[in-house]
Amino acid sequence: MRTPDRREVLRAALAGGAALAIPAALKAQEAGFALPKLPYAFDALEPHIDAATMEIHWGRHHKAYVDNLNKALAGKDDWLKKPITAILKSINDVPATIRQAVINNGGGHHNHTLFWESMAPKAGGEPAGPLAKAIDSAFGSFAKFQEKLTAAGLTRFGSGWAWLVADDQGKLDVISTANQDSPLMMTPALTPLVGVDVWEHAYYLKYQNKRVDYLAAWFKTVDWKVVAERHAKAGK
C-alpha cells in the first residue's frame, strides 16, 4: 500500500477543514434574516403585475434588503435574535452607527414581506365583515378609502409607500412613508394592514411613469382576507 506524500496529506487536511467550516457558515446564515419565498409564481398576478417585475422586485430588490440588513447587524446577536417587527418598533434603540442601515434595509425587508403576502391571484374586490365596517366608519365608504389611498400613493414625492394602518385602539387611517420607513417606526407605532409600494422598481417596466394606472391595477391583486386577519389582531 502506497504512503501518501506530504502534498496529498495537506490537500486532504484542507478539504476536511473546508467540510467542517460549511456547517458553521450555514449556521451563521440561519442566525440572520432570510428572503421569504413568494406565495405564488412570478406570473400569478398578471395582467396586473407582470412576471418580469415580480422576479426582479423579489429576487434582486428584496434580496438586497435582506442581505444588507444581515450585514448591518453582523456580530450583534442580541438584535439578530429579535423579530423584525420588534427591531422596527425599537428603532431608536438600535446603535446609531447602523441605525440608518437598519431603517432602510429592515424596513425594506418587512415592507416587502407584507406586500407579497397582501396579494394573491384572482383577488381584489372589496373586504367584508368587521374590516369593511371599519373602513366605512373611518372613510365613509370603500370607494372613498380607495381614493384616499390612491392619493397618498400619487402624492408621495419620489419613493415610498402608501398604507392602510391601525393605531393601538384599532382606529384606521391612511398614511404614506418615505423610502423604506415603516409605520412600526412611528411613535406610537402604527400597525400596517396593507401597503402599496410606489418605488419605480415596483411598476416601471409595465406602467412606465403612469403610477395611477399601477395603483388601479394593484387594487385588483389585494387579498382582503389577509388584511382582515391583520385588522382583527390590531389593537390587541
In total, the chain counts a number of residues equal to 236
Question: What pLDDT shows up at residue 24?
Answer: 34
Question: What pLDDT shows up at residue 31?
Answer: 63
Look at strands 172-178 and 160-166 and give their pairing: antiparallel
Which contacts qualify for 231-235: CB closer than 8 Å, 24 or more apart? Answer: 231/130, 231/131, 231/134, 231/166, 231/170, 231/193, 232/130, 232/131, 233/191, 234/166, 234/170, 234/191, 234/193, 235/166, 235/167, 235/168, 235/169, 235/170, 235/171, 235/191
Report the chain's C-alpha Rg in angstroms: 22
Asked whether the beta carbons of 116 and 39 are under 8 A apart, the reply is yes
CATH numbers and ranges of domains, the chain: 46-236 (3.55.40.20)
Q: Take residue 16 and report the three cell numbers written for it.
A: 476536511
Question: What pLDDT shows up at residue 178?
Answer: 98
117 vs 204: CA distance, rounded Å: 21
Question: What pLDDT shows up at residue 28?
Answer: 34
Q: Take residue 222 and report the three cell numbers written for it.
A: 389585494
Closest to 113 (Cα-Cα) out of 150, 79, 76, 85: 85
Q: Is 150 helix (H, G, I), strand (E, B) or coil?
A: helix
What tens digit of pLDDT does each residue of 170-185 get? Answer: 999 999 999 999 999 9
Q: Is the dihedral of CA 80, 83, 85, 87 positive or negative?
A: negative
Question: What pLDDT shows up at residue 8?
Answer: 47
Sole residue written with cell 419605480 = 200
Question: What pLDDT shows up at residue 25?
Answer: 31
DSSP state of 173: E
Helix (H), strand (E), coil (C) string for 54-69: HHHHHHHHHHHHHHHH
Taking 50 as the pLDDT cut, the residues of the chain under it are 1, 6-29
Whole-prediction pTM: 0.86
